[in-house]
A and B are shown apart, each in its own frame.
Chain A
Amino acid sequence: MRFLRWLTGLIILAAILIWIFIHPFNFLVRCLYILLLCSFLCLFRILKGPTAADRAVSVDILGILIVGFCAILCLATGRPWYLDIGIAWALQSFIGVLALSKYLEGRSFDE
């Protein structure tokens, strides 16, 4: 049963990846598509996660993914200010996750 579920998921993922790779776009846009697929997996865990802590983990991972997204956008469009957005997003996401973890622990923010 577990093997059957694994096989179904594998077939769906392979179909999505093949669909991405037969599209007539250039190389960096395909990388962007795969990162978009990763973001959708994170959003699935945010929707389904049983506790609040699972959702906090997904938000953390989504923040790091967006930094990589900004870097590939910088190469694909040739505009260097996308990396500034990446730096700012990394800083802000780290502080946000620390605040979330303090909230989970049940303490106040100024400790």
Chain B
Amino acid sequence: MNEIIGYIFIVAGVVFDFFGCLGLVRFPDLYNRLQAATKCVTIGTCGIMFGVFIITGLSPSGIKALLIILFLILTAPTAAHALARGAHKSGVKLWEKSICDKYEEDAD
């Protein structure tokens, strides 16, 4: 029974990973790609890790999987935030059909 629930979590995680990487290819500019990829791939990998935790139970592997979940949820948004700020300061423009860019207006 535990194995079936764990496999369901793993399949959900792999499907979310796939959608995230598809967004990385399809979206037109850097910020949209960063949004799709960061959200989907982080939660997808956390789903895979939760599946591993359910299958192995409270063993060394399970504790390590929980530690990886905590670490990924804390660090992946920080990395995305740093990359977006660095890209904007290095002069990457938004998509040409964007609505507004308040950060560009306030930069001077």
Q: Which residues of A are in contact with B by a Cβ distance under 8 Å?
A: 13, 27-28, 31, 34-35, 37-39, 41-42, 44-45, 51-54, 56-58, 60-61, 64-65, 67-68, 71-72, 74-75, 80, 83-84, 86-87, 90-91, 94, 97-98, 100-106
Q: Which residues of A contact B90 (CB under 8 A)?
A: 52-53, 104-106
The 5 closest A-B pairs by CB, nearest first: A104-B86, A53-B87, A101-B86, A101-B82, A38-B21
Number of interchain pairs (Cβ within 8 Å): 140
Contact sample, A vs B, 29 pairs, CB 8 Å cutoff? A31-B14, A38-B17, A39-B21, A41-B21, A41-B24, A41-B25, A44-B25, A53-B30, A53-B90, A54-B30, A57-B30, A57-B33, A61-B20, A64-B41, A68-B17, A68-B48, A71-B52, A72-B48, A80-B61, A83-B68, A86-B68, A87-B64, A87-B71, A94-B79, A97-B83, A98-B82, A102-B82, A104-B83, A105-B85
